[in-house]
Amino acid sequence: MIIRCVTSALFIIALATPAARAAGTSPAATRVELQAIAAGAHRSAANKVRDKYRHPVATLAFFGVRPDATVVEIWPAGGYWTEILAPYLRDHGHYIAAVGGHDAGVKKFTAAFGSKPELYGKITVTGLDAKHIQAIAPDGTADFVLTFRNVHNWMKAGHADDMFAAFYKVLKKGGTLGLVEHRAEPTKPQDPQAASGYVREDYVIALAKKAGFTVIARADINANPKDTKDYAQGVWTLPPTLRRGAQDKDKYLAIGESDRMTLLFRK
């Protein structure tokens, strides 16, 4: 399903000049544009509150996402990253949302982001679940595949290997996989189903290497040394979920969101 681009004077968040959006945009110009979009009035207040934990500008700059790239985001859920990526790619690139839930997910996501083409431009929405892992996008067409805090879900469902293999297939030769995930303690055994929501960094790297990827960079952009990772209810004890409700809420708010690895792989 494709949401076609409609040009509109109402689009007010693309503050960079057309030249700055062309191929070959400098890293400094990229950050300026991403910062302008992240600060845009179109973004939900709930998403903006999480920026201090998710570091969207620094993360996307680290991944090296270009405004002329074809970018596949895996399981965009409520659209935190869509609000930034789709406007950034609007004029020269292509944003593909591989949403969970397949048909139902496609319908819900399209309803949320299909009514504002002046903001989000052309978006391709594909369904992605265990039965449709190969339907993300045509093989060898993506410059970037990006995924945020999803590996533990695939481990729990038993198809993490299939997911990484699908990412490898959809990327062009030399394409990039950018990944953020809750980071487990490296000295503790890895639960194959990641019931706590935390995954060891070396485990994620092994999954990617098994699919054929090469590690090219790591960053601590999304690190949180306050996260002790020893909660009875796993990572969901921390915000934004706060699974224990009012119990010790201030304590968990003071810790903040989870400690996260930020990894870059190449096909």
Angle among Cα 141, 100, 125 to the nearest 5 degrees reads 45
Q: What is the pLDDT of residue 10?
A: 28
pLDDT at 21: 40
Write the pLDDT tens digit of every residue in 135-155. Answer: 899 999 999 999 999 999 999
pLDDT at 26: 79
- Which of these ranges, 50-64, 103-117, 181-195, 232-246, has the smallest mean pLDDT? 103-117
pLDDT at 170: 98
Given a cut of 80, whether residue 15 has pLDDT beyond it is no
pLDDT of residue 24: 56
pLDDT tens for residues 151-185? 999 999 999 999 999 999 999 999 999 999 999 99
Least confident stretch, 27-31, 97-101, 210-214: 27-31
So what's the pLDDT on residue 106? 92
Provide the pLDDT for residue 14.
Answer: 33
pTM: 0.90
- The residues facing 264 across adjacent strands are 178, 217
What are 95-124's pLDDT values in tens digits? 999 999 889 999 999 999 988 889 999 899
Residue 5 has pLDDT above 50, yes or no: no
Q: Which domains does the chain have, with CATH numbers?
A: 2-223+257-266 (3.40.50.150)
- Asked if pLDDT for residue 17 goes beyond 50, the answer is no
